[in-house]
Amino acid sequence: MGPQTQIGAAIDGRMLGAPATGVATYAHALLAALDMANSDPRVVSDRSSGNGLVTAGRIERWNRWLDVRCTRIRRLKSRNNGLWYRDIFRLAHVHFDTHRTLLALRPPVRPPRIMHWTYPIAARIEGWINLYTIHDLIPIERPDLSPIDGVRLEAMIRAIADSGGHFMTVSEASRASLRQLLGPRVPVHVCTTGIDLTSAAHGGPSPIPADSFIAIGSVEPRKNIERLVDAWAASGARRPLAIVGPTGWRGEAIEHHLARTQGIIRIPYIEREDLLSALASARALLFPSLAEGFGLPIIEAMALGTPVMTSAEGATAEIMGGAGLGVNPVDPLSITMAITRLDDDDELCGSLAAAGLARSHDFTIEAFAGRLREVHAAIARDSAWRT
């Protein structure tokens, strides 16, 4: 295959209709960037895509039980300019638990494409390049911060590598983690995502007062919410702190702590366009997370001209790129002092907003599409076509 050959692409549809989590937002950005990169993307889906879990009757459950125990290759069907099999994602999950191998899928079309799996899925399409996005290895590196089974995740990642899969990470930090796990011989491409904030213009009235501090993400230990709230209270900040996101893993005790702290605005859910509108009018985003693979709210805030405070280590420091206010996430005084500066210093906030806006230009969908072209070209140069 010549180095100038344009390779078509496909993407799994598992997250395209899911709630607006970070991975779902990434999936939509990836599809838009693939389209912009002229990769003629096709969506690989099943009955559950965009609809959550599908309830099965007794006969269907019996058929599923039999299907899992079969190791045959499943044939994808062409449907609506995409590819379809009735039960890809659940079957891949259970198939891996049963056989510790990837579910093999056979496409009905040629020539081969690059199959983008938006997160580690225990499936592969035969004869295609299978490219798996690894967002982070937190369940493996910090099992105390994640409900995901890190042992199972590591086994799946190793099975993907053994099958000849390629990997793509959303940050250099994630690539370093993956290289440490698998060694230097496995292909790993860094391709930071892009964001589309057009919906911000359609936001309605916000329940969050303008000029508030805002924290975005699930209320769980990894997001460092409890330490953030204590630091905000200790700072004596004039501005309220709004915490937006659902109650996450082990979040109940943190919620009780929030309820006892005066001045906290707690919003478990808000429509994305309203969230972006609130973020655009905030004094600053406070994001001192203990572990991230990327940190999507950082770039969203920067693109909207909102100053950012985040952890000065790992992926968040990388994505911040010096355009925000870095803190030690395990040092309450570091967080408190940063909040005080953001509360008192208008000039600092103005300079951070300008620096963040400039930084965000690297994270548009157009920039993402350019990075994808480079990844695809690098794969095309791999004469072995590791499938």
50: domain CATH number? 3.40.50.2000
Phi-psi region of 296 (alpha: psi -120 to 50; beta: other; left: phi over 0): alpha
In this structure, the answer to whether residues 161 and 248 fall within a common structural domain is no
What residues of the chain score a pLDDT lower than 50? 1-4, 51-66, 383, 385-387
Residues 32 and 175 in one domain: yes
Q: What is the pLDDT of residue 344?
A: 98
* Residue 229 counted as domain residue: yes
Domain co-membership, 358 together with 369: no
What distance in Å separates the CA atoms of residue 226 and residue 255, rounded to the nearest whole number? 9
- The verdict on 150 and 37 lying in the same domain is yes
Q: What is the pLDDT, as a whole number, of residue 117?
A: 98
DSSP state of 262: T
Which residues partner with 267 through β-bridges? 244
Whether residue 177 is found in the same domain as residue 188? yes
Q: Tell me the residue type at 276.
A: L
Instruction: Please report the pLDDT score of residue 13 as a whole number.
Output: 94
Distance in angstroms (rounded) separating the CA atoms of residues 339 and 231: 8
Pair (167, 254) in one structural domain: no
Q: 78 to each of 43, 64, 372, 375, how far by Cα in Å?
A: 10, 22, 25, 26
Sheet containing 188-190: which strands, arranged edge to edge? 77-79, 82-84, 42-45, 9-12, 114-117, 129-134, 166-169, 188-190
**pLDDT the model gives residue 98:** 93
As given in the structure block, the two tokens for residue 240 are: 């309220």
Asked whether residue 159 falls in the same domain as residue 178, the answer is: yes
Whether 237 and 373 map to the same domain: the answer is: no
Whether 148 is covered by a domain: the verdict is yes
Amino acid identity, residue 11?
Answer: I
Cα–Cα distance measured from residue 231 to residue 332, given in angstroms and rounded to the nearest whole number: 6
Residue with tokens 């086994």: 155
Give the pLDDT confidence of 207-236 residue by residue, as tens digits: 899 999 999 999 999 999 999 999 999 999
41 assigned to some structural domain:
yes
- Name the nearest CA neighbour of 289 among 253, 349, 248, 342: 248
Residues 54 and 78 reside in one and the same domain: yes
pTM of the predicted model as reported, rounded to 2 decimal places: 0.91
pLDDT for 206 equals 83
Report CA dihedral (8, 14, 19, 21) to the nearest 10 degrees.
-70
Within a domain: 2: no
On whether both 65 and 146 belong to a single domain, the answer is yes
pLDDT in tens, 271-315: 989 999 999 999 999 999 999 999 999 999 999 999 999 999 999
What angle in degrees, to the nearest 10, is found between the helix axes of 22-36 and 296-303?
A: 60
- Do 189 and 250 have their domain in common? no
Please tell me the predicted confidence (pLDDT) of residue 67.
56
Tell whether 3 is covered by a domain.
no
Domain that holds residue 88: 9-194+365-380
Tokens 């912009």 locate to 36
Q: Where are the alpha helices (DSSP H) in the chain?
A: 22-36, 58-68, 88-99, 138-141, 150-162, 172-182, 225-235, 252-259, 272-280, 296-303, 314-320, 332-344, 346-360, 365-380
Quick one: 180 and 204 in the same domain?
no
By the 10 Å C-beta count (0-12 exposed, 13-18 middle, 19+ buried), 72 is classed as exposed
What local confidence, expressed as pLDDT, does residue 246 receive? 96
Q: Is 246 within the bounds of a domain? A: yes
Q: Is residue 320 part of a domain?
A: yes
Name the domain count of the chain: 2
161 located within any domain: yes
Distance of CA 214 to the CA centre of its chain: 20
Q: What is the pLDDT of residue 134?
A: 99
Note the pLDDT of residue 202: 65
